[in-house]
Amino acid sequence: MASSSIQIRTPEEAVARIAYLASDVVISVQPTLKDDSAFSTHLNRYAGRKDPSLICKGDGAVPEIQSVRHNNDPLLSVFAPIRSGRLTSVTTTSNVLLPSIAHLYKLANYPVVIHVSLHPAQFPDYSAITAIRNSGWTFLQSESLQEAQDMAITSHALAVQSGKGVIHYFDPGSCSLDKPIAAEDASIVRELLTIGDVRRFQAALIPSSTLYADDGMAAVASNRSEPLINGASATSNSLADSTILDTTSKATPSEGSSASQHSSSSAPPSVSSATTLDDAPPVVTSEDIYKYVTAIWAQLKVLSGREYSPFEWSGPRSADKAIFVFGSDAGLFAEALDAARSSDIYAKSGMLTARLYRPWLGAKLIEAIPKSVKRIAVLEQVSRKTTKWGPLLIDVLTSVKSGFGGVEHIVGYQLGYIAPETISQALKGVFQNLTSPKPLQNLEVGKKDGPADVASFRLGEPKLETAYTKILDQLFGNRVYIANALKSSNAGVAATVASSPEFGFGSLLARKENRQRLVKEVKNIVASPRNPFVSQTKHWLTKWVETINSGLKVDDVAEEVVSRLERDGTSVAQGLLEKKGLFRKESLWLVGSDAWSYDLGNSGVHHVLASGENVNMLIIDSTPYSERAAADASRRKKDIGLYAMNFGNAYVASTAVYSSYTQVLQAMLEADQFDGPSVVLAYLPYFGEHESPLTVLQETKKAVDVGYWPLYRWNPQNETKGEPNFSLDSELVKKELKEFLARDNHLTQLMQKEPAFAANLAQDFGTEVRAQQKRKARDAYMQLLEGLFGAPLTVLYASDNGNAQSVAKRLGTRGRARGLKTTVMAMEDYPVEDLPTEENIVLVTATAGQGEFPQNGKPFWDAIKDNTELDLASVNYSVFGLGDKHYWPRKQDKVYYNKPAKDLDKVLANFGAKRLADIGLGDDQDPDGYQTGYAEWEPKIWSALGVANVEGLPEEPPPITNEDIKLASNYLRGTIVEGLNDHTTGAISASDSQLTKFHGTYMQDDRDVRDERKAQGLEPAYSFMIRCRLPGGVATPKQWIQMDDISTQLGNETMKLTTRQTFQFHGIVKGKLKPAMQAINRSLMTTIAACGDVNRNVMCSSLPTQSQYQKEVFAYSKIISDHLLPSTTAYHEIWLQDDKEKKQIAGDAVQDFEPLYGPTYLPRKFKITIAIPPHNDTDVYAHDVGLIAIKGNDGHLVGFNLLAGGGMGATHNNKKTYPQTGRMMGYVSKEKVHIACEKIMLVQRDHGDRKNRKHARLKYTIDDLTVDGFRSKVEALWGDAFEPARPFHFKSNIDTFGWLKDETGLNHFTFFIENGRIEDTTDFQMKTGLREIAKVHKGEFRLTGNQHLILSNVADEDMPQLKELMKQYKLDNLQFSGLRLSSSSCVAFPTCGLAMAESERYLPVLISKLEACLEENGLRRESIVMRMTGCPNGCARPWLAEVAFVGKAFGAYNMYLGGGYHGQRLNKLYRSSIKEDEILAIMKPLLKRYALEREEGEHFGDFCIRKDVIKKTTDGQNFHDDVAEEESDEE
């Protein structure tokens, strides 16, 4: 690329040329792949000529130009080339920066250069730069054509030398009048680039680690060289010892992060394959960046004569006033200042601009400002400020105020658009305010909006980027046309155009008229006797006219027509191509907000509906359910859905993407196909601009579940098909919603009569009904007690997990036996106004959360705590509380122990009530738990009431236990069938809910909406979880599709891959439970014994690299599973038998027989797993029986080492419970292994603890009997003996991701499925993608024990098609941190009834907050096993993780450290009940310490033990010993 004759005319051309010369790969971000950007025209020209790059190696040294659409996540394309040792640059507009901020943080420590043309043109928004200023990149600004070229060279040289990313930004409009410049000589560019550094980076490939398969993802690094001036070292550059210039120029953690750049040529101690150059990698500081950039500029000065500095000052050095300009065309201000007359208020003033914007070098700014300057005006062209003060103003204030102190006033201004003719007036206004005694801050200078940019915008077409518009784009592609987008007052989305429905409707009508004119034009051309076209163009135009009204068929013809016109070349064809979008049948949409639901917009909606035109309205309602009353207190929203249905000619749908993604798709497709107006109401609740998806999900579920936002579809054209017009899609509330609609009809009539009371009537009706229900229930019960003798006793309870309720009911039963008139009820059901009339009242309360009342006690507490009118002088009372004094171990948290009970006791005493007995406190730490305190307290109550010594009290029946339920169940039948046929409730009985576990299903309720449903007077949102039994986790593609169908049609549209290698479905309502079971069995799977006190799903290592050996081992997982299956026929009778089959009658009861289990089955669950060394990917130590496959000398399976007594369940603060690892029993041959498993299970059946379920697992049986004692019992029952264990070795317990080839030549790809959740979102169509893959896949799917998925047995010839599908659905993306890839979690909220804290929904968020720290310390690719569970039952096996978080209360976790990387060692408690801020404060320094101090090959858990961060756990029985304590918290 000769430079002597080249004339550069635009900054984009200057930048494109330098990027081409200095890169191996250039990512060209374009509007579309067909439409060039201002950069790509030049890049493609160079590449087309095969001009060589200065740095490329290989054929022709031509860099690769990758064109990427601006809305296709362009920065994702940078990871692969930069990590494979190819220097990569990006040319783009500023539009892509904010959506790519997550990538920016991750790429900051790679030598990537991003050249940014600020947009919109004419008047760019610099907030795109300020918003990402703390992402860790270096920022350079250019303001002229020559500077654009020089800063582009600087950027590439700086990136290579520092190892950090550089963003070079400029406003192309400010250079529009610049004269052309000469292209910089290539030899100068080469000298500045320091080719030696380039070659070192290109050579520094990082080999793959055990976590990542060798799939081309290897990270790369470079050595940071000394900055050179004329070939000499400018500084010793001892970066590890470098100091920051001053406090104001210190880099933030993200800005001054470690470059994570390492050489592969040396190997100091390290776990990672990306080894470091030094034991402690030096951090690139602000000073380092300054040294590099000034050295580059010094070279540039010597070579070209042009000089640059971090901050540029122009004006007299004696100036006492100055402006700091951060915006477009600073030259306009400079010219005005230079031309100032002596009488101008801004005469003899200076100007500052930032050349090096980040890192912010405060000391260099102070050096640039003359000592004479007293006042500075900071002008910022930032449209979307996130704080009151502009970002540059804060920077300047921080730097100057800590400097020499000469500047007295710093004043911020919002810089708008200023035309050249008004610059003097603008400067006058700036300086008049600046020089006033009390200058005003944040004044606006110039016009808020710049001139219209015709090239960038089209009238009425900016898109509202929400989940719904993304779906429109996915469904209709280039057919969709959105006329407008309207921002709701509550919508947490970027503002685009605030326009009315009338405007949008007019725009759509204009669009339709344009198409009609095109049709007329084409008809005239076709009818013309002259043929202006070549080839077959006229034939296809004729065909298009014929199919114009044929629906979607016209689209196929339109594609061919456009293709023909593009090849035709005639002037007529070119004219038609200008309207090519109109050839397709467009899907026309107006996008608006809930503002259209009020009178202001309703007339416009009326016009659309009344017109009958075939247009679609998408109306997004963003009012959160929790704020619905406050948002609409005085003026009621109109229900556009009902309004539109009354017209009779409109399609109407009510949707919520966070409730049912599938229903949204269906509604939009139906709206598009409907011939007439359509209204799609879309719910997307936002409290604020950056609301988390979890909050949006929870608000949506509340709104849908209680009927506030029902999901439905109304299609008046269905009548012609004989189908119902109305379809209600919100399954959970069908019955309640029908009642609500009937009531609503009645209320509507009342409201029409009394409009003034309409709002209050609707709001208060439900509240009044619930109050009357309480009163009627109370009165009815009191009438029943009238005929009884004895003193009255009212017992109220607030229960969290059932214990307080049990205590209250037992107290009530014992009171009645003593002749008392006893009432027992929940506190929330008690009318508080009756409290002064009570004679004797006892209150029993548990402790929830952080010293809070349980949910069913909160209304009672809220009613009395601040009450000033209660007089309880005649009331006798006592309080009993249930708590755990060690639940919150820190001193400042002791107040939470039994806090609700203590608060009640205090408040009632303050109201004058007299104590029957002092408060009783039950403590879980006591020998018998809360029963110890209760046994002391209860007799005091009877004594105070005079009924302590009553004779002839009946014996109390013992509480019904799980053993009783099993024994009475007739081999797992119970009354399950009767419960399924009871349509009055969504639940089944408590005893049946224990039995259904044996059938593979748990009853659950949605805890996200539990409180709201209770407040609405509804029962919990009951549904069922179903778990399949799938030995070894192997499924066929057909089975995958069938599982996908079940989740979509019968479940909540998601699937869960569990930590036990099987499928799990959630959200299945009772009415769909049996169809789901039958569908699973039709797929040749089952659910029997997937849960319950039986042997559950048998796991087996997936091991894709040893396919034949894995098949041998896998076969035994099925043999063991089948051998230990329950024999009862109850499963077939209940779930698979057709309702029409013969029913059993009395006297014909089935007499089942369980040869292995007996009528009471096992004391507790029983789990078996198989691991294939060297991979312990099934956590073999964590199960009741762990089998370690042993390979013979011939390479085939010979037998197993057998471990027994592993188990993960525990109870917080109960030291009698603990996790345990399996103990070695010995070796057993493969032929005998199923018998050995059977005998171990039978010994557990006969010797396990059936009285205390917390002590019932096999681990406790072995600990009670001792290992040798247990082994002897097994061998005696077996009649055989274990052989000595054989050698084996484990390397890890994680999965290996990416493509792998086995010994037979077949291929396997491991997908990363975060926490096992298979679902579709608007950004990631995972579920759809996997279904499409299953349709063509010829091998099998393997579910892993770490919740991931392996696409197995792929032939080489089938790989291209599968790779294309994976790419299409982004399923080939493995660009995740080692920590994320090694993580797993349980489900927890909202469905698990045992969860105390979030898990699946929170762990990804926590990891994201740690990943910057990992990058900073060079640990991004390090595998650190992190697990999270919502409770201590251990479903995700947290006790074996190197770092684990176990839920303690909502938002609080116990933290454990020191688990074995191979899954061989338990961890230990490090901190108790910590929240996110504490977690991050602990983890970040610990990770940094690990990066600096680890030994070669040392894993994180081992490091924590070696450094005495935590003590080593050698056995489950010392799990609670020597736990770490924070002494400062206890003092």
The phi, psi pair for 1309, rounded to 5°, reads: -125, 125
What is the 3-class SS of 199-241, one letter each residue? HHHHHCECCCCCCECCCCCCCECCCCCCCEECCEECCCCCHHH
Q: Identify the active-site residue in 1013, 1165, 1259, 1465.
A: 1165
Contact (CB, 8 A) for 1339 and 1306 = yes
β 1307-1311/1034-1035 pair status: unpaired
Cα–Cα distance between 866 and 862 in angstroms, integer? 7
Cβ within 8 Å of residue 1202, ≥6 positions away: 1185, 1186, 1187, 1188, 1224, 1225, 1226, 1227, 1228, 1233, 1236, 1237, 1240, 1282
- Is 636 assigned a catalytic role? no
- Is 1096 assigned a catalytic role? yes
Contact (CB, 8 A) for 322 and 369 = yes
For residues 1135-1159, one letter each, b for 16 or more C-beta atoms within 10 angstroms of the residue's C-beta and e for the rest, the string is bebeeeeeeeeeeeeeebeeebbeb
With H, G, I as helix, E, B as strand and everything else as coil, classify residue 773: helix
For residue 625 the two structure tokens come to 């359910």
Q: Identify the active-site residue in 1167, 1250, 1257, 1471.
A: 1167
In order of 60, 974, 1379, 1446, 1451, the CA distances from 1403 in angstroms are 48, 39, 11, 11, 12
For residue 1516 the two structure tokens come to 């489950």
- Is 1327 assigned a catalytic role? no
What's the count of helices (H) and strands (E) in the chain, helices before strands? 47, 50
Q: Identify the active-site residue in 1007, 1096, 1271, 1465.
A: 1096
Q: Is the dihedral of CA 102, 103, 109, 113 positive or negative?
A: negative
Cα–Cα distance between 479 and 669 in angstroms, integer? 13
Closest CA to 1200 of 1182, 1184, 1191, 1187: 1187
The phi, psi pair for 877, rounded to 5°, reads: -145, 165
Beta bridge mates, 1413: none
In order of 732, 1116, 1242, the CA distances from 1031 in angstroms are 33, 9, 21
Cβ within 8 Å of residue 1372, ≥6 positions away: 1363, 1366
- Is 1165 assigned a catalytic role? yes
The phi, psi pair for 152, rounded to 5°, reads: -65, -45
- Is 1504 assigned a catalytic role? no
Closest CA to 324 of 234, 410, 444: 410
Contact (CB, 8 A) for 908 and 872 = yes
Cα–Cα distance between 1505 and 1497 in angstroms, integer? 15
Q: Identify the active-site residue in 1091, 1386, 1413, 1504.
A: 1386
Cα–Cα distance between 212 and 271 in angstroms, integer? 14
Beta bridge mates, 1095: 1166
| Other CB atoms within 10 Å distance of the CB of residue 1349 | 25
**Can you state the percent helix, strand and coil of the chain, rounding each to 5?**
40, 15, 40
The phi, psi pair for 1300, rounded to 5°, reads: -135, 150
Q: Identify the active-site residue in 56, 175, 1431, 1504.
A: 1431
Q: Identify the active-site residue in 56, 175, 1237, 1392.
A: 1392
Q: Is 1528 exposed, middle or buried (0-12, 13-18, 19+ CB in 10 A)?
A: exposed
End-to-end CA distance of the chain: 73
Torsion of CA 379, 382, 387, 388, to 10 degrees: 40
CA angle 249, 251, 254 (to 5 degrees): 155
359 preceded by a cis bond (ω within 30 of 0): yes
- Is 543 assigned a catalytic role? no
Query: Which of the residues are catalytic?
Result: 1027, 1096, 1165, 1167, 1386, 1392, 1431, 1435
